Amino acid sequence: MIRFTVGLLLLFAFPVLGEAESGSELFDHRCGLCHREGGPGTFMLERRLGEGFAILEERGALSEAYIRQVVRWGVGSMPRFSRGEISDPELALISDYLTQPVDQD
């Protein structure tokens, strides 16, 4: 029963490749649980780096190489993600999304 439940959770947590096509949607599906406002990743980044660095989508100073490094190898309390969990094409779209210039309204 536990294995079935975990399988269902993973099915909904990690949608099938092609379901989400944009970097924004992939970020939301793959990273948003921790890295949207109020998530544990946001909380940890705020504690370590300050409020202005907590929301990844608002940082603007992230490089694609750094994002790939952190996702593939983990850092601090963030676990690493394999290519089976986040494919290279998905990671490229997420990196492109996070490295876009931030709108300074």
CA distance 43 to 34: 9
- Domain of residue 44: give its range: 2-98
The answer as to whether 61 is a domain residue is yes
Residue 103 counted as domain residue: no
pLDDT surpassing 70 at residue 42: yes
Which pair of structure tokens corresponds to residue 12? 């909904």
Determine the Cα–Cα distance for residues 64 and 62; give it in Å rounded to an integer.
7
For the beta carbon of residue 2, count every other beta carbon within 10 angstroms.
6
* Residue 94 counted as domain residue: yes
- Looking at the structure of the chain, the number of domains it has is 1
53-92 pLDDT, tens digit per residue, is 899 999 877 899 999 999 999 999 999 999 999 999 999 9
Q: How far, in Å, CA of 70 to CA of 64, rounded?
A: 10
**How many whole angstroms separate alpha carbon 87 and alpha carbon 16?**
11
Model-level pTM? 0.76
Within-domain flag for 53: yes
Using the structure block, give the residue that is written with the tokens 């300074």. 104
DSSP state of 100: S
Is residue 104 one of the residues assigned to a domain?
A: no
- Tokens for 18, please give them: 């092609």
CATH number at residue 15: 1.10.760.10
Take residue 31 and report the two structure tokens written for it. Answer: 């990273």
Is position 65 within any domain?
yes
Task: Tell me, yes or no, whether 42 lies in a domain.
Answer: yes
Phi, psi of 75 (to 5 degrees): -160, 135
